[in-house]
């Protein structure tokens, strides 16, 4: 199912609120806790808490993947060299 960003943002905000209310990190909410927020949360939600999986999925220019960030740094270094006085 495709969920509009504004709705996904709202659900994630509710998850953050739930974690804060229980005084636990987000990754310690149970599937049952999350399913109470939305039936769209299922057992595969654990992949969201995996830093590498979460960050590395954004490999487009300007993204958060290591390859994208490295390319951005190289681009900026070249730009600085070209514009140094």
Question: What are phi and psi for residue 50, nearest 5 degrees?
Answer: -80, 115
pLDDT at 54: 77
Q: Total domain count for the chain?
A: 2
Residues of the domain holding 66:
58-85
Instruction: Examine the pLDDT at 84 and tell me if it is beyond 90.
Output: no
CATH number of 25's domain: 1.10.40.30
DSSP 27: G
For 1-57, what is each residue's pLDDT tens digit? 788 989 989 999 999 999 999 999 988 999 999 999 999 988 888 777 777 777 888
- Shared-domain flag, residues 37 and 68: no
- Shared-domain flag, residues 44 and 4: yes
């Amino acid at each position: 199912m495709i969920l509009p960003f504004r709705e996904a943002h709202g659900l994630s905000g509710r998850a953050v609120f739930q974690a804060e209310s229980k005084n636990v990190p987000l990754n310690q909410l149970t599937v049952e806790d999350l399913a109470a927020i939305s039936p769209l949360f299922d057992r595969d939600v654990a992949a969201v808490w995996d830093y590498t999986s979460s960050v590395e999925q954004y490999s487009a220019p300007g993204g958060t993947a290591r390859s994208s960030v490295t390319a951005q740094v190289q681009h900026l270094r070249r730009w600085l060299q070209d514009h140094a006085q």
